[in-house]
């Protein structure tokens, strides 16, 4: 479904009923909570059904981050993005499934079970915003919000064959986004087309006094339909070891198509790329170890019948309430921040981040965009990748973008063995407009097949 | 045996309107529990802190007033630890790059004026408040009130420059005066100032005492601790490096935990609060800084010619000095200094009152005028002050209503005469050599004039008259 279908429809009530019916059916296990008290209006955008990832605070609607520890937590306030969507009179259809606390690449770490890929229900939808991607790709809703700390919007967009935008760090207020790694993450948008992504992004972006890292940026809607003089950089390191042949083939096909359409491209090297993954995981886990300290069951969330002393009580709650992957990251992050290790790990990771940031800014001063495969492979089967390190490796092409803080969008660019392949287009800081114009230009000209 | 004392003083910037990292009002005193809270100071998932720049401004003021160097590049860190009063599982505090470094405060030390060095001044947020139901070690459960959570707090850390409990008390009292001059702090509110003290006897281990919340407590806790450590030494034992808790009601310190190693708070920069650049702040705020206690003391001495002791008492509280200056501008400054610093302050202390609750400076001026015109005695003036503090009213009114004006001196000889006639026995005693009998007669005269005469004058009159009788 596209936003235009909604706008042009004469019977919005019927569409909304259909949306709710599908959401409740939960065919892909994409929803954790369905909001049946949605607002219905028949004018233009009003009432547009939107799904929200379950790590974004929604007043009066249970928000769990797909974790047992937050079971029963009903926030008393709306995230800034939710306020803005409500001001635009969108309908919050429900809260989507995800990796627990956004820690994962396949949405398999959810307490509520794995999200299924609409293209093949035996496969994962990607993570961590798997439910949002599946809800859009499966035709349940036209748009959904996710969050992207190391690829959590772009990865499921790629696996599910839809468009997913991770904006510039600071372009969208994080107020109300339940933090996993504050210095890396951004709220992002899923839709079937770049135009729909742009429309929703334009509503949620901008400075918010409650997020000191947020700032204003140029409007992106409506998009200029004919961007000219496009210069594309193709960093070699992103086509390295571990990238599937089929993925590499489809992305190169896309680059050649852009060339045929008048763009210039150049292969380049970004030598700090190989340090991105370890730096990313150290920073993300360190921040996570601190962010997740507040979940002790004392004020909200999981609580047992009988309490003991403070330490015993919270230890039991945290032992039961957090899943394996979350515990792993809390432990590793705690270790990295400990006395004697802080300089060796955390400070060094910050230095690497600075170098990566500088490298991106340097390269992006010569090109409009960089193009890479979003993910090194297509959606794996549920349970196929068990070793956590192999899963971390899958983020190799997405995490440098979060370290640099620049915007990137994943757009479908073809198929490998009947599964969608995503192409990552990386843009300049706070220039989402140019990024989305180029993405849309490619999208319109490539005519890659869609799910619905 | 030299004693070394260093202090860590936590000060709430409770004159600010809103909390450190959110817009919640700071006026939680007397409010029902958990009513002055919002998603940010409750640490709800997804809520983000933002810096209250008024608090940063107040912190710069304090740093400058403590003669510290303000760090142009300053930032917040997370201090990670689990405690139920800490809703995020970390406290937003400062670590490297605190707002102020390397300052000093001059105090009245045991051997005259003394410089206490300030190591650092840093900003942080207050945690919530725990209410144990029953005694701390035997409580069945504990209630948490998050009203205090997120209150703007300054931690002021000194070098171990104090050598006695009295000096430590002088430091906190001077600090309070300075903070009140800056109008960032109201020391009368519960929990506004909390002190942790480090104390060691030279060569021994350092003991930390937590939870001291009054001036008197500072002195008591340290005195107890020093005696304890000296007694250990006398028995050939060493004080252990440990943290002790001050029990205010029993005035003793009890061991909380023996320090095996320093706790690891895993400090790292708060990612939601970008570092601040305070370029130009020092100059701007320095220019706006009010006159501070030491400067004001010197000015009062020079401008009004009052004594150093009086000037110290008067500048010990900003409002008291303001009161004095209002009075001194309309009457004799020296008389004003004596009556405000010696008499009024004493009467206020006796009543546990602060100068804010006192009668107006205009009333004080009126009273001093009555004294200057010799219409009332010193004793009557004290009575009037007491009456005004307890019941209100104006000096002249009270004087007239109570008949406190001095009697005309020409009636005194007549009164003396009648007392001599009415007290034959005392007169005989005096004349036969029991000179102390005159005191009884003075008392009788004073009784007749209801205290409105100078006792020394009455004495002289009586002595002269009795000697005349004796000579006849």
Q: Report the candidate in A437, A413, A440 with the shortest Cα–Cα distance to residue A424.
A: A413
Phi and psi at residue A2, to the nearest 5°: -115, 160
Considering the domain architecture, whether residues B415 and B323 belong to the same structural domain is answered as no
Domain holding B434: CATH number? 1.10.10.410
Contact residues on chain B for A77, CB-CB shorter than 8 A: 39, 44, 47
pLDDT for the residue numbered B375? 87
Whether the complex's predicted ipTM is more than 0.85 is answered with yes
Tens-digit pLDDT profile for residues B94-151: 999 999 999 999 999 999 999 999 999 999 999 999 988 776 667 788 899 999 999 9
Considering the domain architecture, whether residues B272 and B254 belong to the same structural domain is answered as yes
Nearest chain A Cα distance for residue B398, angstroms: 59
CA distance B370 to B364: 10
Considering the domain architecture, whether residues B266 and B301 belong to the same structural domain is answered as no
Considering the domain architecture, whether residues B380 and B334 belong to the same structural domain is answered as yes
pLDDT for the residue numbered A12? 84
CA distance B459 to B364: 31
Residues (pLDDT < 50) of chain A are 42, 452
Among A67, A128, A158, A410, the active-site one is: A128
Q: Are B390 and B348 in contact (CB under 8 A)?
A: no
Total structural domains within chain B = 3
A132 catalytic? Reply is no
Considering the domain architecture, whether residues B251 and B397 belong to the same structural domain is answered as no
For residue A300, the SS3 value is coil
Contact residues on chain B for A213, CB-CB shorter than 8 A: 272, 274
CA distance B374 to B368: 10
Considering the domain architecture, whether residues B65 and B171 belong to the same structural domain is answered as yes
Considering the domain architecture, whether residues B114 and B250 belong to the same structural domain is answered as yes
Three-class DSSP labels, B246-279: EECCCCEEEEEEECCCCCCCCCEECCCCCCEECC
Considering the domain architecture, whether residues B296 and B366 belong to the same structural domain is answered as yes
Considering the domain architecture, whether residues B27 and B146 belong to the same structural domain is answered as yes
pLDDT for the residue numbered B347? 94
Q: Is B89 on the interface with A (CB under 8 A)?
A: yes
Q: What dihedral do alpha carbons A220, A224, A226, A229 form, nearest 10°?
A: -50
Question: If you ran DSSP here, which 8-state letter would residue A56 be given?
Answer: B
Phi and psi at residue B238, to the nearest 5°: -105, 145
Considering the domain architecture, whether residues B197 and B304 belong to the same structural domain is answered as no
Q: Which helix (H) or strand (E) holds A415?
A: strand A408-416
Q: Is A337 on the interface with B (CB under 8 A)?
A: yes
Nearest chain A Cα distance for residue B80, angstroms: 7
A152 catalytic? Reply is yes
CA distance A299 to B435: 82
Is B268–A286 a contact, with Cβ atoms under 8 angstroms apart?
yes
| CA distances from residue B27 to B12, B131, B154 in whole angstroms, order as listed | 12, 19, 18
Considering the domain architecture, whether residues B250 and B370 belong to the same structural domain is answered as no
pLDDT for the residue numbered A452? 47
Residues (pLDDT < 70) of chain B are 135-137, 259-262
Considering the domain architecture, whether residues B312 and B365 belong to the same structural domain is answered as yes
Q: At which of B402, B432, B458 does a domain end?
A: B402
Domain that holds residue B63: 3-283
A269 catalytic? Reply is no
Q: At which of B366, B387, B402 does a domain end?
A: B402
Residues 131-150 of B with CB under 8 A from A: 141-142, 144
pLDDT for the residue numbered B89? 97
Q: At which of B402, B433, B455 does a domain end?
A: B402
Q: Report the candidate in B242, B164, B169, B167 with the shortest Cα–Cα distance to residue B204.
A: B242
pLDDT for the residue numbered A399? 98
Contact residues on chain B for A346, CB-CB shorter than 8 A: 268
**Other Cβ atoms closer than 10 A to B457:** 14
pLDDT for the residue numbered B135? 67
Catalogue all structural domains in chain A, each as residue range(s) with its CATH number: 3-229+372-446 (3.90.1300.10)
């Amino acid at each position: 479904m596209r936003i235009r279908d909604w706008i042009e429809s004469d019977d919005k009530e019927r569409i909304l009923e259909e949306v709710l019916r599908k959401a409740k059916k939960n065919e892909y296990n994409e929803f954790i909570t369905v909001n049946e008290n949605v607002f219905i209006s028949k004018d233009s955008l009003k009432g547009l059904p939107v799904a929200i990832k379950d790590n974004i605070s929604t007043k009066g609607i249970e928000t769990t981050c797909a974790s047992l520890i937050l079971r029963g937590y009903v926030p008393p306030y709306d995230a800034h993005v939710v306020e803005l969507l409500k001001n635009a009179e969108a309908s919050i259809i429900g809260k989507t499934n995800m990796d627990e606390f956004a820690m994962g690449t396949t949405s398999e770490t959810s307490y509520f079970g794995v999200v299924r890929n609409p293209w093949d229900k035996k496969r994962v939808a990607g993570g961590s915003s798997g439910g949002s991607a599946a809800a859009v790709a499966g035709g349940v809703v036209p748009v959904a919000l996710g969050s992207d700390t190391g690829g959590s919007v772009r990865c499921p967009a790629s696996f599910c064959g839809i468009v997913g935008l991770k904006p510039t760090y600071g372009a969208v207020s994080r107020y109300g986004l339940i933090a996993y790694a504050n210095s890396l993450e951004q709220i992002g948008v899923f839709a079937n087309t770049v135009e729909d992504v742009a429309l929703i992004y334009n509503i949620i972006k901008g400075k918010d006094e409650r997020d000191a890292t947020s700032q204003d940026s140029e409007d992106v809607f409506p998009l200029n339909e004919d961007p000219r003089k496009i210069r594309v950089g193709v960093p070699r390191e992103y086509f390295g070891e571990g990238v599937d042949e089929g993925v590499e083939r489809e992305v190169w096909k896309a680059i050649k198509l852009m060339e045929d359409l008048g763009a210039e491209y150049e292969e380049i090297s970004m030598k700090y790329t190989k340090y991105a993954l370890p730096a990313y995981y150290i920073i993300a886990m360190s921040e996570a170890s601190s962010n997740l300290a507040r979940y002790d069951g004392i004020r909200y969330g999981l609580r047992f019948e009988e309490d003991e002393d403070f330490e015993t009580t919270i230890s039991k709650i945290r032992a039961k309430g957090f899943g394996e992957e979350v515990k792993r990251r809390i432990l590793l992050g705690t270790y990295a921040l400990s006395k004697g290790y802080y300089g060796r790990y955390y400070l060094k990771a910050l230095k690497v981040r600075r170098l990566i940031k500088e490298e991106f800014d340097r390269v992006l001063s010569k090109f409009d965009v960089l193009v890479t495969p979003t993910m090194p492979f297509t959606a794996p089967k549920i349970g196929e990748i068990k070793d956590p390190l192999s899963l971390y490796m899958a983020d190799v092409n997405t995490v440098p973008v979060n370290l640099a803080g620049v915007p990137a969008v994943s757009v479908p660019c073809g198929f490998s063995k009947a599964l969608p392949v995503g192409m990552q287009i990386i843009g300049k800081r706070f220039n989402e407009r140019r990024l989305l114009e180029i993405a849309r230009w490619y999208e319109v000209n490539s005519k890659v097949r869609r799910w619905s | 045996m030299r004693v070394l004392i260093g202090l860590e003083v936590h000060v709430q910037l409770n004159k600010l309107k809103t909390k450190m990292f959110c817009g919640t009002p700071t006026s939680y005193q007397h409010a029902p529990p958990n009513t002055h809270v919002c998603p940010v100071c409750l640490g709800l998932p997804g809520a983000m802190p933002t810096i209250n720049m008024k608090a940063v401004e107040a912190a710069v003021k304090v740093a400058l007033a403590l003669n510290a160097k303000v760090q142009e590049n300053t930032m917040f860190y997370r201090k990670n630890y689990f405690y139920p009063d800490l809703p995020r599982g970390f406290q937003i505090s400062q670590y490297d790059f605190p707002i102020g470094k390397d300052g000093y405060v001059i105090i009245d030390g045991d051997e005259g004026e003394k410089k206490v060095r300030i190591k650092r001044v840093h900003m942080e947020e207050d945690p919530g408040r725990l209410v144990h139901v029953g005694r701390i070690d035997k409580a069945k459960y504990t209630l948490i009130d998050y009203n205090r959570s997120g209150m703007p707090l300054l931690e002021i850390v000194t070098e171990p420059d104090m050598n006695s409990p009295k000096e430590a008390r002088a430091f906190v009292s001077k600090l309070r005066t300075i903070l009140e001059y800056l109008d960032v702090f109201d020391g009368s509110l519960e929990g506004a100032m909390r002190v942790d003290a480090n104390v060691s006897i030279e060569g021994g281990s350092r003991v930390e005492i937590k939870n001291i919340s009054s001036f008197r407590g500072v002195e008591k806790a340290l005195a107890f601790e020093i005696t304890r450590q000296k007694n250990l030494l006398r028995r050939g034992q060493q004080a252990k490096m440990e943290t002790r808790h001050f029990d205010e009601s029993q005035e003793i310190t009890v061991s909380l935990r023996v320090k095996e190693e320093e706790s690891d708070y895993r400090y790292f920069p708060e990612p939601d609060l970008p570092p601040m650049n305070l370029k130009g702040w020092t100059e701007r705020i320095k220019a706006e800084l009010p006159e501070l206690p030491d400067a004001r003391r010197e000015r009062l001495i020079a401008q009004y010619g009052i004594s150093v002791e009086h000037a110290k008492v008067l500048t010990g509280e900003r409002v008291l000095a303001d009161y004095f200056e209002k009075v001194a501008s309309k009457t004799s400054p020296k008389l004003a200094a004596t009556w405000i610093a010696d008499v009024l302050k004493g009467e206020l202390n006796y009543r546990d009152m602060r100068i804010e609750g006192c009668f107006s400076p205009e009333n004080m001026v009126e009273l001093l005028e009555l004294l200057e015109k010799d219409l009332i005695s010193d004793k009557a003036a004290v009575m009037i002050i007491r009456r005004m503090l307890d019941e209100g009213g104006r000096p002249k009114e009270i004087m007239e209503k109570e008949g406190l004006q001095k009697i005309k001196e020409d009636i005194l000889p007549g009164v003396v005469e009648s007392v001599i006639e009415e007290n034959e026995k005392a007169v005989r005693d005096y004349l036969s050599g029991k000179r102390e009998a005159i005191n009884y007669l003075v008392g009788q005269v004073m009784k007749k004039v209801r205290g409105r005469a100078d006792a020394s004058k009455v004495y002289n009159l009586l002595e002269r008259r009795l000697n005349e009788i004796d000579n006849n």
